[in-house]
Amino acid sequence: MKKSILLVLLVAFLAVAVGVSGCLDNNDNGNTTNNTTNTTPTPPATPPTFDNNIVQVDPIPAGFELLVVKNVTADSEGIGGLTDALAGYSATYMHNDSISDTVYLYAFECSDTAAAAGYVQDMIDAHIEKYPGTNNVTTAKVNGHDATLLTRTVTSGSAGDERYELAWNNGPILVVVNGPASYNLILSIAEASGL
């Protein structure tokens, strides 16, 4: 008698375990076996959290040093075309202890994606107005985004130095990277930002 009760309980336990595990369910919910492709869609990317960590690159590219991170507003930073007091963060990176190789990474929080894209267009319009007919507005790929590259020549004495500024939006976040550094150094920080 004890053996038959034990056997009935064991069968009942196994039936519950199989039922809970879904082993006999015909719906595979996108799960596959035998090295076939899983067709479960990838969830949309979550926008980065907007705090001062957003401008702190990790890992920092070789030769760079993070000097300072601070709260800023777009209008106070002298970024062409930005006259609104957008709140954001700035990080200053120096390459090989050279002031002329300084790169500034900015992130500003906008009300939505369209507003952030609008600010990029404001920067383009201001740049074209200040430097007409120079064809110095181009596009560059940065972290999967079509970033705007604004180029200008700064004359110091008889020599001219190129200055570069990258701007793009990552959802509602406006990203700007600029400084007196070479384009390759500016692009290096832009790409390392992950924004």
Residue 10 has pLDDT above 80, yes or no: no
Q: Residue 138: give its domain's CATH number.
A: 3.30.200.100
pTM, two decimals, is: 0.74
Q: How far apart are CA 188 and CA 192, in angstroms?
A: 6
Number of domains in the chain: 1
More confident residue, 127 or 13: 127
Helices (H), 22-73: none
The pLDDT score that the predictor gives to residue 38 is 43
| Per-residue pLDDT reduced to its tens digit, 18-34 | 454 454 444 444 444 44
Strand 145-156 relative to strand 173-179: parallel, antiparallel, unpaired?
unpaired
| Per-residue pLDDT reduced to its tens digit, 95-145 | 999 999 999 999 999 999 999 999 999 999 999 999 887 779 999 999 999
Instruction: Give me the sheet containing 173-179, strands edge to edge.
Output: 64-73, 87-95, 98-109, 173-179, 159-170, 145-156, 137-142
The residue segments making up the domain with residue 58 are 52-193
Residue 45 within any structural domain of the chain: no
Residue 44 has pLDDT above 50, yes or no: no
How far is Cα of residue 44 from the mean position of the Cα atoms in its chain? 14
- What is the average pLDDT across 170-181? 95
